[in-house]
Amino acid sequence: MPYDKVLLGHLQRRLAQISITTSALRNQGLPGTISTVRDYLDDCIDLGRFFNVLPDLRKYTRFLDKHTDALRSRLTVRANGNMWGPSRKALNLFFRAIVYDKILCDHFKVPRNPKVYDALIAPMEIPLDKDAAKGIRGDFQGSLPRWHGIIHLTPEISEEYQQAALEIAMNERTARVHLDMRYWRNTD
């Protein structure tokens, strides 16, 4: 039985609020950046479309790129700088919160079997930040560009780190997005 649209709307708003914390976007723009991001996630992301494109890497990548550019445009107007990295990180944090939420997964009929679930979310990216970059660099056998911070992240550098994370995840038989749980504030 599908959930009520009002409940789903409240849930989307809540996930936008709790996935984009002050620490998630610290020093990533002018005052008001976090509220602009949260409003975008609440108002502009169609969850049905998200779940529809998620299983297809090409469609999901286009969806993610489109929203990264749209959110970046809103933030760049305010910050007068490159906001691609903070925009991408915010979207990846929000999308991870969505696929980790039981009510939304039940409503959109996400399989509960862990292997099928991980295959479904395989296109998702790890939210990049200094902790994720450090973890990826430590676990990846190849070379990666130096990490200069989210505010300086470009699509090209992001892609290199995402590909490295994908290789790590494949070796560990998990979804790349799950690596963030291990790398987040890791003190090892």
Between 61 and 32, the more confident residue is 61
* Confidence (pTM): 0.93
Angle at which helices 5-19 and 84-99 cross, to 10°? 130
Joined together, the tokens standing for residue 61 give 């990548």
What is the rounded distance in angstroms from the CA atom of residue 38 to the CA atom of residue 36? 6
Contact assessment for residue 23 and residue 127, using Cβ atoms and an 8 Å cutoff: no
pLDDT in tens, 129-156: 999 999 999 999 999 999 999 989 999 9
